[in-house]
Every structure is written in structure tokens, then in C-alpha cells.
Structure 1
Amino acid sequence: MDATSEHLWSPVRWAGNGAVRLAFDSLAEGAGGEPLLLATGLGVNRFWVPDGLCRMLAAQGFAVARYDQRDSGESTHLPPTPTSNPLSSLFGKREEAYTAEDMADDAVAVMDALGWRSAHLLGVSLGGAVAQRVALRHPGRVRSLTSMAAVPGDTSGLRTMRYIRMRTLAKFARLRFPDGAVEAGIAVSRLLASPRRPFDEPAARDAAVRNADRGVHDQQAQSRQIGAQWHGPPISAITRPTLVLHGADDPLIKPGAGKAIASRIPDARLVLLPRVGHEFPECAWHRVATEIRGLADSSRHLPLPPDN
């Protein structure tokens, strides 16, 4: 994160969920707007969500905050488990270091630390599944739900295979990063980008240098996150206004996953983003921000249900 970016955000703060400490910060711009909490993807830290998108969301009237999920970024990393490979955690016997319910409660702990009684949620990839589970477990805390590039939050194990492009997953498993986090960030960005746009390696390198996130190749942490199983109701029980965003060219999670989520959550709306992979490219920022603004506007007249 460069100096300009650093001044956009508050100093890091901390929320607690039991023994887990969760790092979060909030955007200086738009601080008086409607609360919007960002949850990021597998293993990665909160800096992966582009500042430019966050500023567009602030311009749309949102007070934006983001956090590192447990086992990512500056948040608590749990002790190693016997399963150290995300593939074996996904398809084999799971060693459960914590539950998916714990991860949903982490988001609520961050909201509590921010002083937010309720918030709009934007979850990306694994964060999308987490956000779906927050809407199930804590509906009274969720003004609206946006799930992006995610699988259904009640899907696990072998059932997940129908939504994942196994060729990309195999490539991801074969990646090696002898030169550290910067080269890892570039390789992962290349793998997840839309094939319909030229890959901008200089921009990817600049981003990786500014955010040398070891989480992109921390297979132990990723295994624990994948191993967190959901024991709650199906996503068809979600009652909060829901938007499902998915890159039309997502090379990792098939757009069918977004279609499945939207078909199962009552009144959910699906938006496929053209020329977008498993990523947040600048060409999609305006569309994402305006779609989330529209969802928030549609939810204003709806009362929040009692929290579970």
C-alpha cells in the first residue's frame, strides 16, 4: 500500500471474536454514508479490493469498511492442521479448525467494533459465501447482500466441484513461488484475469509490490478457511435483498454458480459482468458500484428482521 492509499484509510483497528483478532479499517471518504462492509476472498488480505472501486462506492453514498478474515492479512492465523493442501481440504476429509459460522460471526464482530447496528454487505469469492452465511445467521444485521464470484454458501465438499473449473484449480495447485509474494501476486492475477482482455503485467506487478500478500500462497491458511463447514440452513432461507454479481469470463468459478445462487435466494437478481474474470478490473468498477447503489435503494423501505 503506497502513501497515497494509506491516507485514504483509517489506521488499522481491531475487532474480537473469542480468541480471534480481526484487522479492519475504514475509508476516509464518505464516512457519513450508509455502512458497507467488504469481505474478501480465500487467503487474501483486505487490500485486494481496489481503492478506486472503494472510492466509487463512497461517491455512491456508502461508508466503506473492509477487514481481513481470520487466517488472512493481519488478522489471527490459527495453528496448523494436518491438512495442508486446499485441494485435499475441499475434496477429502476435512480437518475443521473452526466453522463457517465462526467466520460469519467475525463479520458481525467487525460491525460491532465499527458501531454499526446493520450494514450492507459485499462479499467476493470466499467472502461471498461468508456474506451469504451472515445473511442467514444474522439477518437483522444485513441491510442488503451482494455476493460476487462466489459459490452457494451452503455448498461444500464434492458438491462444490460442479461450480469450479478444475483445469484452473489444477493450475493454481501447481503454481510455485520461489521468489516470494510479489511473483505470487502476479501469477495469481494472471491466472484469474479474463482471457478477453490483454493482461496488464506492469499494473499487476505494481499492485503486487504495493501489496506483497503472502496469503496468496499460504496453503495452510487456505486449507483452514476451506475446511470451515457450514451447519446452518440453506441459502433459500435468505430473506434480505440480494444481488449476485459474477464475471462472465471467470476462469475459476463458473458463472453457473452465480446463476445457482440467484435462482435459490428469493427475489435475488443476477448480473453477469462482461470481460470480467475472477477479479475487480477497472472496467467493471462503475457497474459494480451503481448496481450495489440500486440494491441499497431498493432495500430502504424494508424493515430489518429480528436478529437470530
Structure 2
Amino acid sequence: MNSSPPGSWSPVRRAANGAVRLAFDQWTERADGEPLLLVIGLGANRKWFPDGLCRMLAGRGFAVARYDQRDGGESTHLPPTATRNPVSALFRKRGDAYTAEDMADDAVAVMDALGWTSAHLLGVSLGGAVAQRVALRHPDRVRTLTSMAAVPADAAGLAALRYVRLRTLAKFAGLRYPDTDEGNIAAGAAVRRLLASPNRPFDESAARDAAAHNLDSGTQDQQAQSRQIGAQWHGPKIDAIARPTLVLHGQDDPLIKPRAGKAIASRVPGSRLVLLPRVGHELPEPAWDRITTEIRALADTAGRPSTRSATGR
């Protein structure tokens, strides 16, 4: 449920990466803290990050900003391509619209627009893979990396399929609701139900309320999802990540198997894996304290990088 008071987020702004415009905003509390950029997942807009979690991160000393991936939310949506289903997009040998490098550069474009020379990154689901790639492609811009509920960023095609529960992905891709406010509310609630931990009671009323506060049609936009998931990575392996790294994964994740988190942690030097009990492919309130505590501890361990300016950015 989105229970934050009005005015918690700054007015929406847009960063530019070539012709692509990326919508972003910043939590207004503790805007002078350590920069933390939130990177959202497949088919979702930035508002899927709960306001309560963002307030807690601000309370831990972070200046929190979030953005919409290309083909998501209020950011630029690209033209249709031949692949129009996210499941089939996994099997293609190349992306039809853009590369994973482009998506990594999007995050840096947002940091530039914010005036951040470097930032901590928290990426969830596809956003976790994007954040890993930012750490590979732009290591000087990354203070710490937290990858949650993600597959290894260098896994593609059949290599990625070993980590994905295809039945859940197919259900996600098969959601069909009218393109109306009520249809988007129903779709949002259905996605939350699909991705929740089966070992925690599901609150249907709260899910519908959260969906009503965030009328995100991206959960039903299969073409956009296909372009996002089909973006291919051509850069280094994740073994080359040299930034302080935390890997979070829900023990009950119904979409990405926990073995994906274990694989990332086993390959990124010095990284640490934290499995979250009774957590699915989601950011549930009972896990916020643990998530924010772990991210704060990672930032404290990393210390203060020399790239930070006198204003703390």
C-alpha cells in the first residue's frame, strides 16, 4: 500500500540517452544523503518501489532516486519489433531494438541528470541485471552494487532459462485485462499475487489498493517487455565486477530461482549472499528492515569513495 504523504517525491524530470528520454524523480527527504539509484524490473514502472521502503532507505542516510527503464512507465517507448512475447524473446540470439549496454548507459544518464558522479545501486529483477552491467561498464560510477531477485547479467538464452521458472513467466506474459483503469488495477493485483511468497498470507485488498495508486499498464505490454528482456549483453562476465556487492534473493521467489542469486554471489569476488525468508519476487514490508540494514552495512563497509564531491554527491 502506498501510504506516503503527498510531496514525498520531487516533480518528474527526464534524462537523455540519445533519443531516449528517461523519467525519474527523487525522494525529497534526506536529499543530501549518499546517492542511491533504484533500478526497476521487467515491465514495471519506477513506482513499484514502495514508498515506505524508500522512506526507510532515506532514514538510513541515502538520497533516493528512481527511474523508469526505457520501454517502461513515463520513459520513451520504442517502436514495435518482430518479437512480441517475452518468453520467445529469451530464445532469440540478438535483441531487436537495443542492447543491454544501452540500458546500462540509461542508468548513468539519470545519474548525470541528478548531478551524481557516483552512486550506490539497488536493482531488482531485470533491474538487478542492469545494475550488474552498470558496475561492469561504468565501475567508476558505482559505489556499491545490490542485486536482488536477478539472474547473472551475463546469462542469455538457454543459459538464462536455467534460472527462470517458465511457468510463472508464461502466466505473467499471459495476463489479459482491459486497457482501462479497472483493468490495470486487476492486472496489478494479479501480478502481485503471482509474484508473492506462498508462505505469507496474501492481502488482496492491499494489493488492489496498491495497484489503484499505481495504474501501470506496463504489466500487460508484452511488446515492451520483449524488447527489454531481449536486449543482449556483449560486455565482460560478471566475474569482472570489482565493486562491493550484495546479493539479495527471496527464498520463495516464484519467478527467479534462488540458485540465480547463489550463482551471482559465487562469481562476483567478495560478494555476499543474503536469502530472505518468506519473500517471493517482491519487496514486502516485513523484509524492509532487513533489506535496508544490509544495504546500509554494505555502504558502510565500502567507505567513502574519492569520486564523491564536497557536497556528498
Normalising by structure 1, we get a TM-score of 0.96
Deviation digits for residues 8-50 of structure 1 (CA, Å, limit 9, x no counterpart): 0000011000000000000011111100000000011000000
User: Which deviates further from its counterpart, 87-96 or 127-136?
Assistant: 87-96
Contact 2:25–2:66, Cα closer than 8 Å, also in 1: yes
Give the letter for the 1:265 counterpart. Answer: V
2:301 to 298, 302, 305: 298
C-alpha distance in 1 between matches for 2:89 and 2:5: 35
Q: Secondary structure at the match of 2:162?
A: helix
Displacement after TM superposition at 1:158 (Å): 1.2
C-alpha distance in 2 between matches for 1:84 and 1:229: 16
Which residue is equivalent to 1:121?
A: 121
1:133-152 to 2 correspondences below 5 Å:
133-152=133-152
Give the letter for the 1:170 counterpart. Answer: A
Contact 2:173–2:222, Cα closer than 8 Å, also in 1: no
Which residue is equivalent to 1:218?
A: 221
Contact 1:5–1:51, Cα closer than 8 Å, also in 2: no
Which residue is equivalent to 1:254?
A: 257
Cα distance change of structure 1 residues 234 and 2 upon mapping to structure 2, 3 Å threshold = closer
Which residue is equivalent to 1:271?
A: 274
Displacement after TM superposition at 1:92 (Å): 3.5
For structure 2, list consecutive stretches of 5 or more residues without a partner in the other structure: 308-313
Deviation digits for residues 131-169 of structure 1 (CA, Å, limit 9, x no counterpart): 000000000000000000000001111111110112212
Which residue is equivalent to 2:82?
A: 82
Contact 1:36–1:63, Cα closer than 8 Å, also in 2: yes
User: What root-mean-square deviation, in Å, do the aligned CA atoms of Structure 1 and Structure 2 show?
Assistant: 1.5
1:199-238 to 2 correspondences below 5 Å:
199-238=202-241
Which residue is equivalent to 2:58?
A: 58
Displacement after TM superposition at 1:124 (Å): 0.3
Which residue is equivalent to 2:193?
A: 190
Which residue is equivalent to 1:68?
A: 68
Q: Secondary structure at the match of 1:66?
A: strand
Cα distance change of structure 1 residues 44 and 127 upon mapping to structure 2, 3 Å threshold = same
Deviation digits for residues 243-282 of structure 1 (CA, Å, limit 9, x no counterpart): 0000000000000000000000001000000000000000
Displacement after TM superposition at 1:94 (Å): 4.1
Deviation digits for residues 169-192 of structure 1 (CA, Å, limit 9, x no counterpart): 232233322352111101110000
Q: Secondary structure at the match of 1:91?
A: coil
Number of residues paired by the alignment?
A: 304
Contact 1:83–1:94, Cα closer than 8 Å, also in 2: no
Which residue is equivalent to 2:112?
A: 112
Cα distance change of structure 1 residues 4 and 246 upon mapping to structure 2, 3 Å threshold = closer
C-alpha distance in 1 between matches for 2:190 and 2:173: 12
C-alpha distance in 2 between matches for 1:65 and 1:97: 26
Q: Secondary structure at the match of 1:180?
A: helix
Contact 1:82–1:95, Cα closer than 8 Å, also in 2: no
Give the letter for the 2:51 counterpart. Answer: D
Deviation digits for residues 216-243 of structure 1 (CA, Å, limit 9, x no counterpart): 1100100000111000000000000000
Which residue is equivalent to 2:8?
A: 8
Give the letter for the 1:292 counterpart. Answer: I
Contact 2:83–2:89, Cα closer than 8 Å, also in 1: yes
Deviation digits for residues 114-145 of structure 1 (CA, Å, limit 9, x no counterpart): 00000000000000000000000000000000
Contact 2:3–2:52, Cα closer than 8 Å, also in 1: no
Deviation digits for residues 70-106 of structure 1 (CA, Å, limit 9, x no counterpart): 0000000001101111111012454420000000000
Cα distance change of structure 1 residues 6 and 24 upon mapping to structure 2, 3 Å threshold = farther
Normalising by structure 2, we get a TM-score of 0.94
C-alpha distance in 2 between matches for 1:26 and 1:76: 19
C-alpha distance in 1 between matches for 2:171 and 2:187: 13
User: Which deviates further from its counterpart, 156-165 or 117-126?
Assistant: 156-165
Cα distance change of structure 1 residues 301 and 21 upon mapping to structure 2, 3 Å threshold = closer
C-alpha distance in 1 between matches for 2:210 and 2:304: 40
Displacement after TM superposition at 1:291 (Å): 0.2
Cα distance change of structure 1 residues 203 and 2 upon mapping to structure 2, 3 Å threshold = closer
| Identical-pair percentage | 75
For structure 1, list consecutive stretches of 5 or more residues without a partner in the other structure: none
Contact 2:125–2:151, Cα closer than 8 Å, also in 1: yes
